[in-house]
Amino acid sequence: MREARTCYDHLAGKFGVQLTEALLLEGIIAEEANGFSITAAGELVLGRLGIQLDEVRKCRRAFAPKCLDWSERRYHLAGALGAAILQLLLERHWVNRLPRTRAIVITAEGKKGLAAAFPSTFSEPL
């Protein structure tokens, strides 16, 4: 659970924090006082990955708030954008949920995809 899990409907644990850091490092999102925003480059990258940002923005909830991770004591991405990213990873079979738990596993396909998308963060095995 500490390694990779869901927090409500978004990623958490070491993996969730790592992915948030990758998005920051790659300039896809920017940190603000109470949350995150998408950069112009991030709009393009997330769109190419298949995230329909116009639809995500229509959700009746916070777009990209910070969520303090209980195990890592650092922030991970939550809200509508965090949920959309988790959904994308599930649809691509980059992560799978473990039955009757919040734990998730990163698949071999996911490790390859993450390493290709974020080589500076996910070049080491997860």
Distance from C-alpha of 47 to C-alpha of 24, rounded to nearest angstrom: 17
User: Structure tokens of 21?
Assistant: 């850091």
pLDDT category of residue 120 using cuts at 50, 70 and 90: confident
Alpha carbon distances (Å) from 111 to 13, 82, 86, 117 = 16, 19, 15, 10
**pLDDT at residue 103 tops 70:** yes
Provide the percentage of residues in the chain whose pLDDT is more than 70: 97
Calculate mean pLDDT across residues 41-70: 95
**pLDDT at residue 31 tops 80:** yes
Distance from C-alpha of 13 to C-alpha of 31, rounded to nearest angstrom: 19
Residue 125: per-residue pLDDT: 59
